[in-house]
Amino acid sequence: MEFGASSRVLNPNQRSLFNPISSYHKSIGLFSSFNPHLPSNVSFHISAANSRRDCICKAIVKDNSIKSEKGKRMPGEYSHDFELTSLTALSPLDGRYWSKVKDLAPYMSEYGLIHFRVLVEIKWLLKLSQIPEVTEVPQFSKEAQSYLQGLVDGFSMSDALEVKNIEKVTNHDVKAVEYFLKQKCQSHPEIAKYPFMFIGLIVRT
């Protein structure tokens, strides 16, 4: 174990105020024979990187019995699941600064990520339905288009939780969104006739 300190004389005209050689002799007297409180396993070494400008002092503790301890477990009172508060948040953004940044949550949170994935896939599907060359996707009626747009506009926290539950089965976040949309469209006769549209047809860039 080493403890280090260094000093530099910034003004060459003040070299006489700090002389590494004289400091060395003073240190020997201060830290060795003239200091009865100094442990026997501690020794000091002074080196001059530049005899006129720099002096480095190191204290070395010769003790190999010190071993790093393994991480200690928290006491029982801290082992339970914490509720998210300003004291338990892992980031100050979710803690003390939450009142300043909470308006960003709908866009930058996990909820926001899922919501915008739903938006992108719906918009992409609607765009494909308007291209005659893409025969796999039919041209939707106005009512079907409104229904699909409603999945985006009416997206809620419960919808996001449903996607997360599907993700536990699929083990894939984007695929979970596709299955979520497929389930939502099963109740619409026009869209339900093409169940494959949300499974593998939607191209992701």
**Confidence tier at 136 by pLDDT (50, 70, 90):** confident
The amino acid that residue 95 corresponds to is G
Lowest mean pLDDT among 7-11, 83-87, 88-92, 115-119: 7-11
Which residue ranges make up each domain of the chain? 2-61, 103-198
pLDDT digits (tens, 9 = 90+) for 22-71: 444 444 444 444 455 555 555 545 455 544 454 544 445 455 554 545 55
Q: Is the dihedral of CA 193, 196, 199, 202 positive or negative?
A: negative
- What confidence score (pLDDT) does residue 89 get? 87
Instruction: Please tell me the distance from the alpha carbon of residue 39 to that of residue 41, in angstroms, as a whole number.
Output: 5
Indicate the pTM of the whole model: 0.59
What CATH superfamily classification does 103-198 receive?
A: Fumarase/aspartase (N-terminal domain) (1.10.275.10)
- What confidence score (pLDDT) does residue 134 get? 86
- What confidence score (pLDDT) does residue 183 get? 93
